[in-house]
């Protein structure tokens, strides 16, 4: 995949990537190297699934801020990217604070128990920055991953697809305002699935099952829409799509995928577009206040 070169802010320290699951952390690490960085990878145990041979790296538990803070000090890290999926929310017993973050522990526990995903991410960013490092977004390292406005491949939405996009945008906005998820599927102008903790791929598998069971019309195709949550800190967990999203949408009988332009990541873009074109799906970057696209 061609990677856009984007100069990071000047810094005397080292860049760290706290890596969860998926391919995004590796894309970010390679892009940082192209800019002359020597990224240090902190792979989250039970989450990270990439072979980090060839990169300096360490493995830390997801809530072990004491170990992560020691790594920052040892490696001279002053900037951090949070990248990749985290499937398991840390439990209170997983939290190992530093002296600087000890006073925040009661609020940490409350957030883990009752907060949504975005609230947890904001708390994680706050704890990391209390350890002396500055959190930056993956898109600041690899801006070329952000979706552009308009179609990404050979196919375009029909008028019926556009009505589904509008319905999906409205549903994704409402869902995001509740800090629940980022995605929705609309078929025939009706919302048939909302993304929860299970993630996009599992939601699409559920739509495929509903289609097989006759709960969704086989005559109407439908659209997946993914938007940023309105209150979301854009330094973490931007909505993303990749080749697996295309495969899931195709299996669910959908006509295409619409993602928020400038605030959603497109992973393995060349492969994604190739598979979408072959499957007859459109991929579209949309504005959250309407699905205007440049033609």
Give residue 88's region: left, alpha or beta (phi > 0; psi -120 to 50). beta
> Tokens in use for 16?
């760290």
What's the domain range around 131? 14-141
Does 201 fall in a domain? yes
Does 4 fall in a domain? no
Domain total in the chain? 2
Residues 268 and 282 grouped into a single domain:
yes
Predicted model pTM? 0.82
Residues 97 and 128 grouped into a single domain:
yes
Q: Checking DSSP bridges between strand 134-136 and strand 183-187, what pairing results, if any?
A: unpaired
Residues 48 and 164 grouped into a single domain:
no
Distances from the Cα of 207 to the Cαs of 8, 85, 177, 195, 214, in angstroms?
Answer: 41, 22, 23, 11, 11
Give the integer Cα–Cα distance in Å for 134 and 261.
26
Does 8 fall in a domain? no
CB 27 within 8 A of CB 142: yes
Average pLDDT in the chain: 86
Query: Is residue 150 helix, strand or coil?
Result: strand
Residues 183 and 101 grouped into a single domain:
no
Residues 114 and 157 grouped into a single domain:
no
The CATH code of the domain that includes 188 is 3.40.140.80
Of the three residues 108, 141, 174, the one that is the final residue of a domain is 141
Residues 134 and 227 grouped into a single domain:
no
Of the three residues 119, 141, 163, the one that is the final residue of a domain is 141
Residues 118 and 57 grouped into a single domain:
yes
Residues 173 and 112 grouped into a single domain:
no
Give the integer Cα–Cα distance in Å for 253 and 219.
10
Does 23 fall in a domain? yes
Of the three residues 89, 120, 141, the one that is the final residue of a domain is 141
Residues 89 and 179 grouped into a single domain:
no
**pLDDT 10s digit of each residue in the chain, 295 long?**
333 444 445 557 999 999 998 888 998 999 899 888 999 999 999 899 999 999 999 999 887 888 888 999 999 999 999 998 887 766 656 666 666 666 665 666 565 556 666 667 777 888 888 777 999 998 888 888 899 999 999 999 999 999 999 999 999 999 999 888 899 999 999 999 999 878 899 999 999 999 999 999 888 999 999 999 988 888 888 899 999 999 999 999 999 999 999 999 998 899 999 999 999 999 999 998 755 554 4
Residues 131 and 179 grouped into a single domain:
no
Residues 113 and 207 grouped into a single domain:
no
Q: Which helix (H) or strand (E) holds 183?
A: strand 183-187
């Amino acid at each position: 995949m061609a990677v856009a070169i984007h100069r990071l802010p000047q810094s005397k320290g080292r860049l760290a990537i706290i890596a969860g699951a998926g391919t995004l952390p590796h894309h970010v690490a390679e892009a940082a190297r192209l800019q002359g960085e020597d990224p240090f990878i902190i792979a989250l145990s039970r989450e990270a699934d990439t072979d980090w041979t060839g990169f300096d790296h360490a493995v830390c538990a997801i809530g072990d801020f004491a170990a992560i803070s020691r790594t920052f000090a040892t490696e001279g890290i002053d900037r951090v990217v949070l990248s990749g999926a985290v499937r398991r929310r840390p439990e209170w017993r997983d939290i190992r604070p530093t002296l600087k973050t000890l006073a925040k522990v009661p609020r940490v526990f409350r957030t883990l128990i009752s907060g949504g995903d975005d609230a947890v991410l904001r708390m994680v960013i706050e704890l990391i920055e209390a350890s002396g490092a500055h959190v930056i977004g993956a898109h600041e390292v690899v801006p070329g991953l952000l979706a552009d406005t308009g179609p990404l491949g050979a196919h375009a939405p029909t008028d019926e697809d556009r009505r589904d996009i509008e319905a999906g945008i409205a549903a994704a906005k409402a869902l995001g305002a509740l800090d629940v998820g980022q995605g929705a599927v609309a078929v025939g102008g009706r919302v048939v699935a909302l993304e929860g903790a299970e993630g996009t791929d599992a939601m699409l598998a559920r739509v495929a099952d509903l289609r097989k069971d006759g709960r969704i019309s086989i005559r109407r195709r439908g659209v997946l829409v993914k938007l940023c949550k309105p209150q979301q800190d854009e330094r973490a967990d931007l909505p993303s799509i990749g080749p697996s999203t295309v495969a899931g949408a195709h299996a669910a009988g959908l006509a295409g995928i619409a993602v928020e332009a400038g605030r959603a990541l497109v992973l393995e873009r060349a492969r994604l577009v190739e598979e979408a074109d072959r499957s007859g799906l459109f991929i579209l970057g949309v504005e959250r206040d309407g699905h205007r696209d440049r033609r």
